[in-house]
Amino acid sequence: MPIYVTRSSMPELSDYIEEIKPMFESHILTNMGPVYKKFQSQLITYLGVRELSLFVNGHLALEMAIQALGLTKRGEEVGGGEVITTPFTFVSTTHAITRNNLKPVFCDIRKSDYCIDPDKIEELITDKTVAIIPVHVYGNICDVHKIENIAEKHGLKVIYDGAHAFGEEYYGRGVGNFGDATMFSFHATKVFNSIEGGAIAYRNKRYGVPLHELKNFGMHTETSITSIGANAKLDEFRSAMGICNLKRIDECIADRKRVHDHYFRRLEGVDGIELFKGQKGVKPNYAYFPVYFDDKKFGKSRDDVYMALREEDIYTRKYFYPAINELECYRDNPGAPTPVAHDVSLHILTLPIYEGLADEDIDRICDIILS
């Protein structure tokens, strides 16, 4: 059987059937029904956040958070708003900015954690800057305190892309409590999934109304449409999947830790292989297993390893390659040079990691790399 870079965690079929059974009696399938509300409540508790709004996916959640926080309007007021962000992310982050008629301004990353380098943010701030959108890459937490200080100093909003950071804590505080808002993704490939889905966690209650209206056609009440919205509501069936997977998320993360630790035992200390050793104060979720291959020391390039594994039906990811500011649609965007992001994009490979990945398969992957 092929080994893919990830595999969706799923509940027992009987558990899911039990959760959806009431829908066949109520016929309530969407429009933020009782299952949606139950899922929302459970997530607020698990993530330790004040407020949370559910969406059909993480991308639309981020797009609408940008709108709900008034960044699009603010951008129009300053004659074309700019958002400082990272070039080392999935393209969804940058598309969400651009589709709101804002310009992404790319800030380089730190080699130590692959997250945006806070020491390089201020030099990119102009009178058109309206926000900072950092990304918790691979579940590595950004320097939230430095970013908060910069944002307060310059009067900027901060929205974190936390697609990789579900369930993580920083010194006992849920990661969704930092910045003005945090987006979570519940896509099937993530640590936690509701098949498709996403959420915005936020602290200021006043964002709740615009977030609700934006995902529901701009409807304030049944007869009052106060804004131009879209349809981005999470339905009852996916909410039910989320409820089922949330029951066993700790078990899932514990098994991903087993996989993570096995890789470390096999690959740590090998010349030319750099592994991320974690962050102080962070409760991780083991979302990804990135490996930096220094081809001069290792003797083979990242691409060589990628192809050697692929020939054995083992599918890894050059995650993220190329860097966003090197894609055709973003090459002309402003921003300083990002040499660290460029270097990392050429040398990082994420290895398969998911609940249930067998020890013998981990060993086979490591044997191929080491050979």
Q: What is the CATH number of the domain that holds 117?
A: 3.40.640.10
Choose one of 198, 231, 247: the last residue of a domain: 247
Residue 37 and residue 157 in one domain = yes
Backbone dihedral angles phi then psi of residue 221, each to the nearest 5 degrees: -135, 180
Evaluate whether residue 7 is within a structural domain: no
Range of the domain at 342: 249-370
pLDDT over 90 percentage in the chain: 96
Is 80 exceeded by the pLDDT of residue 341?
A: yes
At 122, the pLDDT band (50, 70, 90 cuts) reads: very high
User: Cβ contacts of residue 330 below 8 Å, gap of 6+?
Assistant: 94, 104, 106, 324
Is the Cα dihedral 358, 361, 363, 365 positive or negative? negative
Residue 300 and residue 203 in one domain = no
Residue 243 and residue 262 in one domain = no
pTM for the model stands at 0.97
Residue 226: its pLDDT value, please?
Answer: 85
Q: Please state the domain count of the chain.
A: 2
Residue 276 and residue 229 in one domain = no
Return the ∠ at Cα 1 (arms to 251 and 7), rounded to 5°: 30
What tens digit of pLDDT does each residue of 241-275 get?
A: 999 999 999 999 999 999 999 999 999 999 999 99
Please tell me the distance from the alpha carbon of residue 219 to that of residue 230, in angstroms, as a whole number.
Answer: 10
Residue 207 and residue 268 in one domain = no
| Distance (Å) of CA 322 to CA 71, 92, 181, 208 | 28, 14, 27, 36
Choose one of 213, 231, 247: the last residue of a domain: 247
Q: What is the CATH number of the domain that holds 299?
A: 3.90.1150.10
Tell me which residue of 96, 91, 90 sits closest to 66, measured CA to CA.
96
> What is the H or E stretch that residue 72 is in?
helix 71-77
Task: Share the mean pLDDT of the chain.
Answer: 97
At 332, the pLDDT band (50, 70, 90 cuts) reads: confident
Please tell me the distance from the alpha carbon of residue 153 to that of residue 129, in angstroms, as a whole number.
Answer: 13
At 334, the pLDDT band (50, 70, 90 cuts) reads: low
What tens digit of pLDDT does each residue of 51-82 get?
A: 999 999 999 999 999 999 999 999 999 999 99
* DSSP string of 252-301, one letter each residue: HHHHHHHHHHHHHHHHTT-TTEEE----TTEE-----EEEEE-HHHHSS-
Q: 323-330, long-range: CB within 8 Å, 24+ apart, which pairs?
A: 323/87, 323/88, 324/86, 324/87, 324/88, 324/89, 324/91, 324/93, 324/94, 324/104, 324/106, 325/87, 325/106, 326/87, 327/91, 330/94, 330/104, 330/106
Residue 180: its pLDDT value, please?
Answer: 98
Choose one of 247, 262, 287: the last residue of a domain: 247
At 215, the pLDDT band (50, 70, 90 cuts) reads: very high
